[in-house]
Amino acid sequence: MMRRRALLGAPLLALLPPTARAFPAEGYRFRLMREGREIGTHTVRSEPGGVTRTAVTLEVKLLSFTVFRMTHEYAERWQGGALVGFAARTVRNGDEGRLNLVATADGLRGEGPEGAVRLPAEAAPLSWWAPAHLERPLFDTATGKPLPSAPQRSRQGALTRWEWPERGMVALYDAAGTWVAFSMRGDDGSTVRYETA
């Protein structure tokens, strides 16, 4: 009986978009590691209504002194494969910035830390949890600025690799499109790696 149900459900699964199939029910939770030490966390969770929330916290210490601290939280609202709303709050060493975007007939419009933001309707945030979005025009999740160059896709063994060389960012995905690894270059040139929490 269980086998029959699984077979009946298979065609329905195939109809789901890749992001829906790949996103884990429990979301994503990573530890951020720098030089062997945990410096923060990155979590992504899905909510009803097509909303995905991301929270990143970072704190780098030298001896017992905090030399860098950042929190970056943002929410994406997707409808029919299109981004219809985006809101972000970033606090970097005490300086706060906000970004708010809504879908209009003319594309995504809103305000960022440096003023008005105008983006094409098909734009997506560089948020990494949905590899299908990486083929769209991308914007920075803190500023709303369009990325000057697109991430590059390649293969790494059985995994799909997406790389954005400008910031030394590399994300890896399994065959189902599930996000399994990430690394990036910090502002000081050090490498930050993600470990599953």
Look up residue 160 and give its amino acid. Answer: T
Per-residue pLDDT of the chain (197 residues; tens, 9 = 90+): 434 333 333 333 333 344 445 689 999 999 999 999 999 999 999 999 999 999 999 999 988 899 999 999 999 999 999 999 999 999 999 999 999 999 999 999 999 999 999 999 999 999 999 999 999 999 999 999 999 999 999 999 999 999 999 889 999 999 999 999 999 998 889 999 999 99
pTM of the model: 0.86
Q: Which domain holds residue 160?
A: 18-196
- Whether 144 is covered by a domain: the verdict is yes
Identify which of 129, 121, 90 has the alpha carbon closest to the alpha carbon of residue 103: 121
- Whether 75 is covered by a domain: the verdict is yes
- Whether 32 is covered by a domain: the verdict is yes
- Whether 177 is covered by a domain: the verdict is yes
Count of the separate structural domains present in the chain: 1
Structure tokens at 28: 């994503």
- Whether 9 is covered by a domain: the verdict is no
- Whether 1 is covered by a domain: the verdict is no
- Whether 126 is covered by a domain: the verdict is yes
* 162-73-60 Cα angle (round to 5): 80
**How high is the pLDDT of residue 157?**
95
Q: Give every CB contact of residue 117 below 8 A, 6+ residues apart in sequence.
A: 99, 101, 108, 109, 110, 111, 139, 144, 145
- Whether 114 is covered by a domain: the verdict is yes
Residue where the block lists tokens 């799909």: 160
Residue where the block lists tokens 């809101």: 87
